Amino acid sequence: MPVPDLFCAMMKEEWRMHSTIFGSLGFALFPAVIAVFALLGSLTLPLFADVLPYDAVALFAHALFLLMGVMVGSFGLMGREFMNRRFGQASLVAYASRSLPVSERRIFAAFLVKDTVYYILLYVLPFAAGFAAATPFIGLDPGLAVLAFVSLALAFLLGLSAVCFLSTLYARSVALLAGTAAGLAVLALAAFRLGAITVSAVLPPYAFFLDPAVEPLAISLLLILVPAAASVLFVTVDYPDRTKRFKNSLDPLAERVRTLGSAHFIAKDALDLLRSEGGAGKVIFSFLFPLGLVWVCLRVLIRFIPGIDPLVVFSALLGVISATIYNWLTEFDSFTSYAFLPVEVSEVIDAKLKSYALANLLPLGVLVLAAATSGGAGTFIPALAAFASVSAYTLAVTVYLTGLHPNVMLYHAWVFLRYLLAISPALLLLIFASILDPLYAFGSLLLILPAALLLSRGRTRWQAWEMPGY
Amino acid sequence: MGVRQMIEADSLTKEYGNVTAVNRVSFTVTEGELFGLLGPNGSGKTTMIRMLTGQIPPTSGSARVMGLDAAKDPIGVRGLVGIIPEQETPPSFLTAEEYLRFVARIRSLDDVDERCDRWFDLLEFGDKRNVLCKDLSRGTRQKLMFSQAFLHEPELALIDEPLINLDPIMQRTVKDFLREYVQGGGTVFFSTHILEIAEEICDRIGVIHNGRLLHAGQLEDLIGSGRHLESFFLDLVRGDAGA
């Protein structure tokens, strides 16, 4: 079977997988929502130009698309179990190398091309189109949108190919992955010591956007193509036999959290995270990676906005990012696993909320560390309030809109639009208010009330929802 | 004392858009009966079980299971009965033993060790108790799903394709268990498209096709009249398809 045929089959499959759940229109409008938001966001750029320079916005956008590439790559490569939990007993072409007369290398190559085309059409193109539509009104050259499309696509592919490469290493040998990660860390540390780490060095597509020269383009392509080619060349589905045996850990773990109630559900959540591919590391990585990007971006912003309190802004963004832990908690679980047991959806949601509260000790630790190392101890209390409120509010919006299926439902155009509309204004208001005075961050505590209301309604709303089967 | 009705389906109907998966089906299953719902693939068997156990609400009609309305009190029904769904597999990242313990906690059971050991012994998969469910073979997963359904010793079990993925030896064990269970006062409602299973163990059968119940009656009467279940089933289904 030639790669183009495989590619077409995978494209149809990806489309049908999403459109089965949302309906064709619901999913087809998803890029339109991105385009509208990019348009509206771009139109507001001149209003905030003094506080938020274009270069800083561009940096945020590139960091965001790099992160999307990482997320798409992680999702696609985490294996059959991952898909089954999310979509029921899904059987995808990507997992068919053992039943079809097609090599796994060819399937994986088609899979990479499919992800590249599909998600560039889904995310990057509409974003660039929205920006392009705004350029005549904000005094920018429309050609800049074409440049943005290319550089943002490069940023997305950089994240995608890096994750593909790391996953191939992991499939070959955990030690190989650990060694490579350690080597990269040493290199990064050495470069940092030598002062060689700049934003452009870390994110060549962004450098290409700032200066569309051959050098950053070549570096970007090299960093995309070499890992992608290596991951195709060395791909394997003959994973080492990692059938592990575990003594009963459910009861001891449940005993530790017995006072919280729902103890066995919480223990199961913990075991799901710890024992699934990548262990706790995948959660920590997916959490710390965007935080690192936020931190780098904030360091840039400080130069432009002298009055900004980085800790408060960081804590608000930390609250949004920490809500993604809920996505992980629901990733390996599906209510169909409980549908034949005497369990209500609300009971599972309650348990997830408790697991979430426990998992939030991680971002809390990050906040304490950030306060201690950045000299921001003076604004720690308002920062803590902002973090807790935004985290609770974002979680509540996620639960209300997506129930136990955030990783699926957020691809529904209408749901995604409501998610953005619910979170963006509150977040932007909080950030701008805290720029005026960090103490205004206490105002974020007002978010606790709608958060409680949304959680209460979300628990009952998802009781009767039936996920379309495959 | 009157006969206790364990399942009472009254004009049960389930529609998905323009498709009628189950169409005005009525029947009863009495205590101590082993009732087999037979039908070709896609005939509405799984939808029927899902409605009877309150997993999905009917579009119209009603189902009472052990005296409870399945649509109004699904948790009550699922607390009483044991269910083995056809498609669902146990959670990937719990071991077989952890999964049984997890179910035992959900059902607030005591003597969890003894209950687990009993099923590991009966279905002969104690050597897999510490293996993650995702690493179990399909047959072992089916054994595990079987175990979870009977862990609380329910009075009624609803099973979607009970012998799927099991080897012939284990099929024998399960069939023997189901007969013993029914002789001990338990009730079983199961769906299958494998007629030999029904012919061997059922007291009563129902035949469903295109969502409609074409027949419900004692298997004994059928065999007594000199007919084979296979020819009876094929005549019914083909006749309905041609109608």
Q: A273: nearest CA in chain B? A: B93
Q: Is A86 on the interface with B (CB under 8 A)?
A: no
Q: Which residues of B touch A88 (CB under 8 A)?
A: 87
Average pLDDT for A130-153: 93
Indicate the angle between helix axes A263-275 and A279-304, nearest 10 degrees: 80
Within an 8 Å CB–CB cutoff, is residue A231 touching chain B?
no
- Contact between chains at A247 and B105 (C-beta distance less than 8 A): no
Quote the distance between the C-alpha of residue A317 and its chain's center.
Answer: 13
The answer to whether ipTM exceeds 0.85 is: yes
pLDDT digits over A189-229, tens only? 777 677 666 767 778 999 999 999 999 999 999 999 999 99
- The 3-state DSSP class for residue B60 equals strand
DSSP A405: -
B160: exposed, middle or buried (C-beta count within 10 Å: 0-12, 13-18, 19+)?
Answer: buried
* CA distance, residue A345 to nearest chain B CA (Å): 11
Q: Answer for the pair B51, B63: CB distance below 8 angstroms, yes or no.
A: yes
Q: DSSP letters along A146-214, please?
A: HHHHHHHHHHHHHHHHHHHHHHHHHHH-HHHHHHHHHHHHHHHHHHHHTT---HHHH-HHHHHHHS--H
Select from A351, A340, A253 the least CA-distant residue to B148: A340
Residue in chain B lying closest to A274 (CA) = B93
Q: A317-349 pLDDT, tens per residue?
A: 899 989 888 988 998 877 788 889 999 889 999
Residue ranges of B 129-168 with Cβ closer than 8 A to chain A? 130-132, 134-135, 149
- In degrees and rounded to multiples of 5, residue A367 shows phi and psi of -65, -45
Report the alpha-carbon distance of residue A358 to residue A285 in Å, rounded.
Answer: 18
Structure tokens at A212: 């569309």
| Residue of A272, A270, A241, A240 whose CA lies nearest to A254 | A270
d(CA A85, CA A264): 19
pLDDT digits (tens, 9 = 90+) for B192-220: 888 888 888 999 999 999 999 999 988 88
CA distance B240 to B212: 10
Q: Among partner residues B56, B93, B101, which is closest to A332 by beta-carbon distance?
A: B93
Band of residue B5 on the pLDDT scale cut at 50, 70, 90: very high
Going by C-alpha positions, the residue among A428, A409, A398 that lies closest to residue A322 is A398
| Inter-chain touch B101–A248, beta carbons under 8 Å | yes
Please report which confidence band the pLDDT of residue A469 belongs to, taking 50, 70 and 90 as the band edges.
very low
- A residues 355-374 lying closer than 8 A (beta carbon) to B: none
Best mutation target among B14, B55, B94 (most A Cβ atoms within 10 Å) is B94
Q: Which residue has the higher pLDDT, A93 or A214?
A: A214
Instruction: Please list, in sequence order, all residues whose beta carbon lies within 8 angstroms of the beta carbon of residue B228, skipping any fewer than 6 positions away.
Output: none
CB contact under 8 A, B93 and A343: no
* Chain B residues inside the 8 Å CB shell of A342: 75-76, 78-79, 106-107
Q: A131 to each of A28, A32, A147, A312, how far by Cα in Å?
A: 19, 12, 11, 29
Strand spans (E) along chain B: 5-16, 19-30, 34-38, 60-65, 68-69, 82-84, 156-160, 187-192, 204-209, 212-218
CB A37 within 8 A of CB A420: yes
pLDDT tens for B151-182 read 999 999 999 988 888 999 999 999 999 999 99
In terms of Cβ atoms closer than 10 Å to its own Cβ (0-12, 13-18, 19+), residue A230 is middle
B57 to chain A, closest Cα gap in Å: 9
Residues of A in contact with B84 (CB under 8 A): 340
Q: CA torsion A157→A158→A161→A164, rounded to 10°?
A: -110
R_g (Cα) of chain B, nearest Å: 18
How far is residue B178's CA from residue B200's CA, in Å, rounded to a whole number? 11
Residues of B in contact with A248 (CB under 8 A): 95, 97-98, 101, 130
Take residue B241 and report the two structure tokens written for it. Answer: 């398809």
CA proximity to A119, closest of A153, A144, A155 = A153
Distance CA A164, CA A178 (A): 15
Tell me the per-residue pLDDT of A164-188, one tens digit each, with 9 for 90 and over: 888 888 777 778 878 888 888 788 7
**Across the interface, do A339 and B85 touch by the CB < 8 Å criterion?**
yes
Tokens, residue A239? 């994973």
In chain B, which residues have their Cβ closer than 8 Å to the Cβ of A264? Answer: 101-102, 105-106
Judging contacts by C-beta atoms under 8 Å, the chain A residues touching residue B92 are 81, 84-85, 272, 276, 332
Q: Which residue of B has its CA nearest to A244?
A: B131
- The owner of tokens 């035949």 is B207
Closest to B66 measured CA to CA, from B56, B79, B57, B55: B79
Is A2 exposed, middle or buried, given 0-12, 13-18 or 19+ CB atoms closer than 10 A?
exposed
pLDDT in tens, A32-74: 889 998 999 899 888 777 767 788 888 889 988 998 888 787 7
- Write the CB contacts of B40 (distance below 8 Å, at least 6 apart in sequence): B193, B209, B237
Average of per-residue pLDDT across A298-310: 72
Dihedral class, residue B177 (left if φ above 0, else alpha if ψ from -120 to 50, else beta) = alpha
Residue A23 has, within 13 A of its CA and on its CB side, a CA count of: 7
CB neighbours of A188 closer than 8 A, spacing ≥ 6?
Answer: A197
Which pLDDT belongs to residue A239? 53
Tell me: the pLDDT tens digits for A232-263?
Answer: 888 776 555 567 789 999 999 999 999 999 99
The two tokens of residue A101 are 């007369």
Q: How far is A447 from A286, CA to CA, in rounded Å?
A: 26
Q: Which of A250, A337, A469 sits opposite B98 (nearest CB)?
A: A250
pLDDT of residue A86: 44
Q: A342–B105: do the CB atoms touch at under 8 Å?
A: no
User: A432 or B33: which carries more pLDDT confidence?
Assistant: B33
CB contact under 8 A, A333 and B75: no
- Going from N- to C-terminal start, the domains of chain A cover 1-243, 244-470
pLDDT at A188: 74
Neighbour order of strands in the sheet with B187-192:
B82-84, B156-160, B187-192, B34-38, B204-209, B212-218
A332 Cα to chain B: minimum distance (Å): 8
- Using a CB-CB cut-off of 8 Å, the residues of chain A touching B135 are 243-244
Asked if the C-beta of B85 comes within 8 angstroms of chain A's C-beta atoms, the answer is yes
Is residue B202 within 8 Å of residue B35, measured between CB atoms? yes
**pLDDT at A80 (0 to 100):** 44
Per DSSP, the three-state class of B8 is strand
